[in-house]
Amino acid sequence: MSDELKRGLEGVLVAESELSHVDGEVGKLVYRGYDIEDLARGASYEEVLYLLWHGSLPTREELDAFAANLAAERAVDDDVLETVRTLADAGERPMAALRTATSMLSAYDPDADTDDDDVTETARRQGRRITAKVPTVLAAFERARQGEAPLAPNPDLSYAGNFLYMLTGTEPDAVSEETFDMALTLHADHGLNASTFTAMVIGSTLADVYSGVTGGIGALSGSLHGGANQDVMEVLYEIDDSAKDPVAWVKDARENGRRIPGFGHRVYKVKDPRAKILQEKLRDLSESSGDTKWLDYTTAIEEYLTDEGLLDKGIAPNVDFYSGSVYDSLGIPVDMYTPIFAMSRAGGWIAHMVEYQADNRLIRPRARYTGPESAEIVPIDER
Ligand code: ACO
């Protein structure tokens, strides 16, 4: 047994997975061998979920049945909606509200207590229900904050289209729906990141999928994981409010030793492939709305930092540099960005739980003990 300590498990191989692979040197991300660009452009989020959960892209018939099943599960019990409203009234943060509501959903799942021999099938069924209901919970939370009643899901709309409809009250146009669908695909899986590993650890105890997804949401809520897209958008608002030139803002930030949010990545040393696709979608959205402000700002910042040699040093735009402005263009409030990340990444968490449980081994590492060798208890009144 090796006594080498790897802080943060950096570089430690803990499992084999067929789900996704990130090549940070060339900027490539694949899900089960399919390039993320091909999936984003050529498959819906429902197809990507099927691919991740079932191992292959669905046939037309398989997709129709899968998507119909998912759509049929979108409604959420009134008690959950009531809790969501209570959380919104109490001013709860969106990720914490999502965590609480996701955990509560299990009370209304007929399979939640199933001690089925077919762990994989039970996990997939529960996963499908969670995936279907999370958008309903999130949209209800946002509407409750606006003093509005929740909207019933529309089973005739796609997963992406229905979420935007429930959130805004308006059926999205084709460009918005397609863009949001792509954003969901782009965020669905990314190797063994912290939240995915959290879900896997929970799954390795054979706990249910509700526990794994609830844990994943908790891990993603931390500032070192989800949340950078929010920071990017806040910078763009700051630039806009101060009527400052975006390049002047970046120069100031660099002179003050401030990091530019949306740049740099632990794995990618070139431009994140997801950023490239979202940049294109931002262009499409800007052209269709006629408002190119965010596109102009982000393009100016990227061009300036390229000229300054930052990209040559491996500090390139990551997915968050463009996702914030894409979400803002879709009318999504800033503090919903991380919950939307959770909504998409739940697909990956579930896939990893299903995959790992199929050949399960309880995850149980060790810590090097650095406490005292022995200690004697002093009676409480003498301490
Ligand atoms: N702006 C300016 N300089 C940067 C940036 C940035 N955004 N990111 C890294 N650098 C510089 C560092 O200052 C450091 O320079 P130095 O060696 O001269 O001190 C060098 O690049 C290496 O930085 P590290 O922090 O060691 O790189 P690491 O791989 O640990 O960091 C991280 C990756 C945390 C993402 C970092 O690039 C960062 O803070 N970026 C901004 C926040 C952000 O966009 N996060 C989202 C990541 S994507 C995601 O989570 C989905």
> What is the domain-level CATH number for residue 183?
1.10.580.10
Task: Give the residue, by CA position, lying nearest to ligand 1 atom 12.
Answer: 259
Judge whether 130 lies within some domain.
Answer: yes
Residue 37's nearest CA partner among 280, 338, 226 is 280
Domain span holding position 117: 34-191
Residue 46 has pLDDT above 90, yes or no: yes
139-150: average pLDDT: 97
Residue 114 has pLDDT above 70, yes or no: no
Query: Which of 8-17, 156-165, 320-329 shows the highest mean pLDDT?
Result: 156-165
319-347: average pLDDT: 95
pLDDT confidence of residue 115: 63
pLDDT confidence of residue 207: 94
| Residue 249 alpha carbon to ligand 1 centre in Å | 18
Q: List, in order, residues 6 or more apart from 208 with CB less than 8 Å away.
A: 106, 112, 122, 123, 126
pLDDT confidence of residue 54: 96
Q: Is 259 in the pocket of ligand 1 (CB under 6 A)?
A: yes
Instruction: Give me the active site residues, please.
Output: 225, 265, 320
Q: Ligand 1, residues 252, 263, 271: which to mutate, most atoms within 8 A of Cβ? A: 263
307-335: average pLDDT: 94
Residue 113 has pLDDT above 70, yes or no: no
| Residue 68 alpha carbon to ligand 1 centre in Å | 42
pLDDT confidence of residue 243: 82
Q: Is 250 in the pocket of ligand 1 (CB under 6 A)?
A: no
Percent of the chain, pLDDT > 70? 98
| Residue 264 alpha carbon to ligand 1 centre in Å | 4
In ligand 1, which atom is closest to the CA atom of 318?
48
Query: Judging by beta carbons within 10 Å of its beta carbon (0-12, 13-18, 19+), is residue 191 exposed, middle or buried?
Result: middle
Judge whether 257 lies within some domain.
Answer: no
| Residue 240 alpha carbon to ligand 1 centre in Å | 24
Task: Give the residue, by CA position, lying nearest to ligand 1 atom 30.
Answer: 266
Judge whether 265 lies within some domain.
Answer: no
Q: Is 187 in the pocket of ligand 1 (CB under 6 A)?
A: no
Report CA-CA distances (Å) from 89 to 102, 142, 143, 146: 18, 11, 11, 10
pLDDT confidence of residue 105: 98
In ligand 1, which atom is closest to the CA atom of 232?
44
Do 279 and 40 touch, CB atoms closer than 8 A?
no
The region of weakest confidence among 57-71, 106-120, 168-182, 298-312 is 106-120
Judge whether 196 lies within some domain.
Answer: no
Judge whether 266 lies within some domain.
Answer: no
348-374: average pLDDT: 96
263-286: average pLDDT: 94
Residue 200 to residue 314: CA distance in whole angstroms? 30
pLDDT confidence of residue 44: 98
| Residue 114 alpha carbon to ligand 1 centre in Å | 45
In ligand 1, which atom is closest to the CA atom of 266?
29
Q: pLDDT higher for 11 or 240?
A: 240
Residue 232's nearest CA partner among 330, 315, 326 is 326
Categorize the per-residue pLDDT at 117 as very low, low, confident or very high, splitting at 50, 70 and 90: low
> Tokens 């949340």 — which residue?
227
Query: Judging by beta carbons within 10 Å of its beta carbon (0-12, 13-18, 19+), is residue 217 exposed, middle or buried?
Result: buried
In ligand 1, which atom is closest to the CA atom of 314?
21
Q: List, in order, residues 6 or more apart from 223 with CB less than 8 Å away.
A: none
Percent of the chain, pLDDT > 90? 90
Categorize the per-residue pLDDT at 167 as very low, low, confident or very high, splitting at 50, 70 and 90: very high
Judge whether 342 lies within some domain.
Answer: no
Residue 119 has pLDDT above 80, yes or no: no
Residue 247's nearest CA partner among 333, 310, 305, 179 is 305
Residue 47 to residue 59: CA distance in whole angstroms? 9
Q: Is 233 in the pocket of ligand 1 (CB under 6 A)?
A: no
Judge whether 61 lies within some domain.
Answer: yes
Residue 112 has pLDDT above 80, yes or no: no
368-375: average pLDDT: 96
pLDDT confidence of residue 110: 85
Q: Is 315 in the pocket of ligand 1 (CB under 6 A)?
A: yes
Q: Is 27 in the pocket of ligand 1 (CB under 6 A)?
A: no
Q: Is 263 in the pocket of ligand 1 (CB under 6 A)?
A: yes
Categorize the per-residue pLDDT at 11 as very low, low, confident or very high, splitting at 50, 70 and 90: confident
Categorize the per-residue pLDDT at 59 as very low, low, confident or very high, splitting at 50, 70 and 90: very high
Would you tell me how many other CB atoms lie within 10 Å of the CB of residue 67? 20
In ligand 1, which atom is closest to the CA atom of 313?
21
Domain count, the chain: 1
Judge whether 284 lies within some domain.
Answer: no
What HEC string does the chain produce?
A: CCCCCCHHHCCCCCCCCCCEEEECCCCEEEECCEEHHHHHHHCCHHHHHHHHHHCCCCCHHHHHHHHHHHHHCCCCCHHHHHHHHHHHHCCCCHHHHHHHHHHHHHHHCCCCCCCCCCHHHHHHHHHHHHHHHHHHHHHHHHHHHCCCCCCCCCCCCCHHHHHHHHHHCCCCCHHHHHHHHHHHHHHCCCCCCHHHHHHHHHHHCCCCHHHHHHHHHHHHCCCCCCCHHHHHHHHHHHHHHCCCCHHHHHHHHHHCCCCCCCECCCCCCCCCHHHHHHHHHHHHHHHHHCCCHHHHHHHHHHHHHHHCCCHHHCCCECHHHHHHHHHHHCCCCHHHHHHHHHHHHHHHHHHHHHHHHHCCCCCCCCCCCCCCCCCCCCCHHHC
Residue 280 has pLDDT above 90, yes or no: yes
161-178: average pLDDT: 96
| Residue 65 alpha carbon to ligand 1 centre in Å | 43
